[in-house]
Amino acid sequence: MHSFGFRANAVVTFAVTILAVVCAMASLSDNFNVPSPTAGVKVLNINWFQKQPNGNDEVSLTLNISADLQSLFTWNTKQVFVFVTAEYETPQNALNQVSLWDGIIPSKEHAQFSIHTTNKYRFVDQASHNNLRGKDFNLTLHWHIMPKTGKMSADKIVLTGYHLPNEYR
Amino acid sequence: MDWQGQKLAEKLMEILLMAFAVASFVVGYAIGSFQIMLLVYASGVLLTVLITVPNWSFFNRHSLNWLDPAEAGRHPKSQATVLPSSKKKTSKLK
């Protein structure tokens, strides 16, 4: 502490160390938040459902996605990434996931939404020897929370009881 | 800056930074704004730099009183052992 440069160095070093501790505390404070998100997805229409020339089944859906994710936001939340997947079981794989729609929620004000949309990404089952006719599937709303400091976390709400028609259309 | 001044500067630095860290966390958490927490802390760091880094006069209240050269000259025996090292020391102490 005998010279200007030494004192400046000491202050900056100590200040940054404390900043790291403060950020860790901010991250820990997220544990006090108990979120209670809600979500609902309605399949309004199956626009078409057909076999592609290469044998894969493809479905086009019109969806209504509504969710209230406001309780996920704390003072340490930068943004939340949400996406909807169709999940189903085939003889080869216990879990198949196809992403249908996604979005980025930048703030708490935008965390309650209801969106009317066709599937943003194509719903194709890539095993050509399968077919999806009459298949039961889940629509799952996944989200990833990106905090300002700390660890990313993810969770989901599984919505069951959807099924595809027995015939192509 | 004298010895007591250096000690005071280090104490002040630690206390001020810790106090501002606690205050900024409490304020930020209460308001629910990460940005305000960082702004409060940044202004605290700036204030700490202004208080502890420049060589203010209140850090120089305990100047060391060295023996004057005439006094040292009266004890040649100790001078022989002390002088080589004391020369180095005096150049360090500003």
- Whether residue B45 and residue A15 make contact (CB cut-off 8 A), yes or no, is yes
pLDDT digits (tens, 9 = 90+) for A40-79: 999 999 999 998 888 889 999 999 999 999 999 999 999 9
Statement: the pTM of the whole predicted model exceeds 0.90: no
**Which 8-state DSSP code applies to residue B9?**
H
Chain A residues whose CB is inside 8 A of the B10 CB are 1, 10
Q: How far is A116 from chain B (nearest CA, A)?
A: 32
Residue B87 lies in a domain: no
Residue B9 lies in a domain: yes
**What is the enclosing helix (H) or strand (E) of A5?**
helix A4-29
* Residue span of the structural domain in which B51 resides: 1-56
Q: How far is A40 from chain B (nearest CA, A)?
A: 29
Chain B residue with CA closest to A73: the answer is B32
Q: Establish whether this prediction's ipTM goes over 0.85.
A: no
**How many domains does chain B divide into?**
1
Residue B76 lies in a domain: no
Residue B28 lies in a domain: yes
By CB atoms closer than 10 A (0-12, 13-18, 19+), residue A70 is middle
Residue B7 lies in a domain: yes
Residue B66 lies in a domain: no
- Please tell me the predicted confidence (pLDDT) of residue B66: 83
pLDDT digits (tens, 9 = 90+) for B20-58: 999 999 999 999 999 999 999 999 999 999 999 999 998
pLDDT above 80 for B86: no
Contacts of A153 (CB under 8 A, 6+ apart): A144, A145, A147
pLDDT digits (tens, 9 = 90+) for A87-133: 999 888 899 999 999 999 999 999 999 999 999 999 999 876 777 88
> What is the CATH number assigned to the segment(s) A33-163?
2.60.40
